[in-house]
């Protein structure tokens, strides 16, 4: 749905013209999986699939949001934000409003039409995109009134993460909101999830990031995610460190036998994955796509064998992709248990890879894949209309 159509929807729903458009992208993570909540390293990129809100401020402290995806509407008063009984999607927006206000920011209400092109529930961070787009809508609504938000990108990401942790009740790390906030066209983002220091790394030319949605439900994801987090904390406790980030590969291999299984395997993944991210960043800087692809492959194998968060569908995509000439590497991306896998492939081989997945994946899994070519894109923002 393009901006003209969204403006028309707004005018139809609210009987006036919108004054701003706010947007925020989804993401894929290139490497560094399940490392963010261990204070470690990640390397995601924002993708060219957004959540967009067209809106106009209101003066009565109310937010009214109409969903162009679902056709329903939600509204809440800023001085009393309860959890939604209508569309559950609105909890991301409510959570952002609640957290911003609890952080002491004065908010301005708005009317908005929200539309998402980030596939929902498939591990491309549609929720982080709603959170960041809502935050941008509040910035836009406040900018024309007395209450500009004046947050920098990392601060905005932290608040959106808090909304997800404290209001929505999902115990995620910082990666998804951070990349949605700070992504840059043509760049991957190397993030130190402890200090929140970050660096942009140019994406190599001549290669494509192909995203394959397994179309498999992610039913176990939340409980398994929390269980993995707890296992990592236990490993850090036994090793006497604040977080697994503080354990080098050498120290870990020396002390590995102090940990019971499966804690040892979980920790092995995290410690080696952090090291892989550092090597992957160096490979990107050297334009060494072959090494980068190999590290992606190791990352997937470790998530499958040690961290235990892959699935037969994700493994099938990865195996099919790796059998196609011109594919440098393939891995699951995001939390796992269904969702999406990515492949890094020569531009000239994209059609070949797409055909191989379309042919082989249904045969192996009985499911239809959804395939997207994604390019590294700009993070969240807003502009006047
Ligand atoms: C989800 C979480 C992130 C991160 C990944 C796994 O996407 O929201 O914070 O933990 O899983 O790397």
pLDDT above 50: residue 146: no
Nearest CA to ligand 1 atom 9: 173
Q: State the pTM of this model.
A: 0.97
CA distance to 84, 230, 247, 269, 303, per residue, from 237 (Å): 38, 10, 12, 17, 22
pLDDT of residue 11: 98
pLDDT of residue 88: 81
Q: Is the CB of 175 under 6 A from ligand 1?
A: yes
The pLDDT tens digits for 187-237 are 999 999 999 999 999 999 999 999 999 999 876 678 899 999 999 999 999
How many angstroms separate the alpha carbon of residue 173 from the centre of ligand 1? 6
pLDDT of residue 85: 74
How many angstroms separate the alpha carbon of residue 35 from the centre of ligand 1? 8
List Cβ neighbours of 376 (8 Å cut-off, separation of 6 or more): 45, 46, 47, 183, 184, 185, 186, 187, 188, 203, 209
Nearest CA to ligand 1 atom 8: 172
84 or 35: which carries more pLDDT confidence? 35
The pLDDT tens digits for 333-373 are 999 999 999 999 999 999 999 999 999 999 999 999 999 99
């Amino acid at each position: 749905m393009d901006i003209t159509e969204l403006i028309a929807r707004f005018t139809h729903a609210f009987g006036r013209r919108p004054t701003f458009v706010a947007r925020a992208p989804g993401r894929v993570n290139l490497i560094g999986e399940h490392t963010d909540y261990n204070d470690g390293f990640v390397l995601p990129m924002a993708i060219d699939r957004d959540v967009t809100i067209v809106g106009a401020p209101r003066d009565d402290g109310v937010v009214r949001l109409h969903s162009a995806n679902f056709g329903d509407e939600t509204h809440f008063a800023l001085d009393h934000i309860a959890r939604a009984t209508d569309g559950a999607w609105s909890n991301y927006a409510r959570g952002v409003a609640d957290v911003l206000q609890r952080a002491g920011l004065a908010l301005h209400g708005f009317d908005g039409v929200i539309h998402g092109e980030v596939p929902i529930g498939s591990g491309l961070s549609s929720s982080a995109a709603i959170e960041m787009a809502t935050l941008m809508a509040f910035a836009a609504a406040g900018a024309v009134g007395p209450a500009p938000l004046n947050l920098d990108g990392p601060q905005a990401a932290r608040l959106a993460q808090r909304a997800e942790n404290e209001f929505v009740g999902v115990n995620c790390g910082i990666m998804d909101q951070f990349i949605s906030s700070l992504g840059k066209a043509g760049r991957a983002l190397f993030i130190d999830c402890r200090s929140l220091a970050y660096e942009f790394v140019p994406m190599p030319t001549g290669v494509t990031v192909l995203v394959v949605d397994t179309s498999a439900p992610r039913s176990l994801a939340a409980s398994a995610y929390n269980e993995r987090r707890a296992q990592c904390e236990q490993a850090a406790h036994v090793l006497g460190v604040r977080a697994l980030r503080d354990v080098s590969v050498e120290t870990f291999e020396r002390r590995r036998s102090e940990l019971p299984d499966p804690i040892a395997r979980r920790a092995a993944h995290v410690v080696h994955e952090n090291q892989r991210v550092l090597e992957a960043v160096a490979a990107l800087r050297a334009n060494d796509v072959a090494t980068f692809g190999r590290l992606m492959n190791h990352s997937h194998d470790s998530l499958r064998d040690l961290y235990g968060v892959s699935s037969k569908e994700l493994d099938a995509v990865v195996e099919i992709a790796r059998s196609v000439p011109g594919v440098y590497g393939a891995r699951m991306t995001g939390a796992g248990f269904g969702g999406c896998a990515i492949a890094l492939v020569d531009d000239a081989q994209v059609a070949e890879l797409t055909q191989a997945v379309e042919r082989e994946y249904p045969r192996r899994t009985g499911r239809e894949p959804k395939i997207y070519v994604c390019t590294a894109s700009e993070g969240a923002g807003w502009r006047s209309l």
